[in-house]
Chain A
């Protein structure tokens, strides 16, 4: 599919929970996650994000994150990655859910961006 979804959270449980939730709305969309540090502590790991980008089968990635260092690590991966990564500064759960629903029906980027822009919180 054109779009895959990437979830980045400081907590592995949050990342997994969001994936469980949005998978219901988007069974055919590639959803990969990076939760917590390399030791599964609270925090973020550039390596985990890189792995989640590499294993995602979408041609382009719609990325959702929770807090500060998740965003910064995500940006570092974006700069080094050849795959286009679109970062959304929106509410994690609601934004990822809406985007997954639209990715499932192959909505174009313009529609996705437009639909979730009001969820911008950071």
Chain B
């Protein structure tokens, strides 16, 4: 299955809305194990995405992902800027000469985050949502339960990458904020695809 422009554009817009609506939730999660600004940072990125897309409506998926990437890179300010930015920039490049399967697209985004963050699964980062979702998409349909399971798996992990890693064992028992914002991304993807994708 491929995500075409209209669906993809709805997806990004719904994601931006969801981030804006859940700014405080993301800040709260980040206060527990980080510096408390993930919501504020992502909200800035979300507003930049909305502004960019309303000013200049992309005419293909490559431009859509590129504009999303640049809005995040330029406006987020924290580590999530280059991480989401790299994911969407790599996705943009991957569809430049024609759309690709959604599962491949999300895997390419995941690989971008791994490269940029020099990280992998089980380090209590957003990769712990992106990678399982990529895997689910490869084997079939994606439902919100998959997203929730991936997100919840970060709660008991001990962080070994990012600021939360300084907390060592104390990072346990908290949901990773970057995983939460990633869960919003994939929840809204399910909204666009429908639960019976």
Contact = CB atoms under 8 A, between A and B. Distances in A.
Nearest to A41: B77
A72 B79 contact: yes
B146 to A, nearest CB: 28
A46 interface: yes
Interface stretch (B5-13, B21-29, B80-88): B80-88
Interface string B53-96: 00000000000000000000110011101110110000000000
A68 B86 contact: no
Interface of B: 73-74, 77-79, 81-83, 85-86, 116-117, 162-163
A68 B116 contact: no
Contacts of B162: 68
B85 A76 contact: yes
Contacts of B74: 38, 46-47
A69 interface: yes
Q: Top 6 A-B pairs ranked by shortest CB distance?
A: A72-B82, A69-B79, A43-B77, A37-B77, A68-B79, A73-B82
B73 to A, nearest CB: 5
A45 to B, nearest CB: 8
Interface of A: 37-38, 41, 43-47, 68-69, 72-73, 75-76
Contacts, number: 37
If over half of A's interface residues share one DSSP class (helix, strand or loop), that class is named, otherwise mixed; here it is helix
A81 to B, nearest CB: 15
A94 to B, nearest CB: 21
Contacts of A47: 74
Contacts of A43: 77-78
B77 A72 contact: no
Given A46-B73, A46-B74, A47-B74, A73 B81 contact: yes
27 contacts: A37-B77, A38-B74, A41-B77, A45-B77, A46-B73, A46-B74, A46-B82, A46-B85, A47-B74, A68-B79, A68-B162, A68-B163, A69-B77, A69-B79, A69-B82, A72-B79, A72-B82, A72-B83, A72-B116, A72-B117, A73-B81, A73-B82, A75-B116, A76-B73, A76-B85, A76-B86, A76-B116
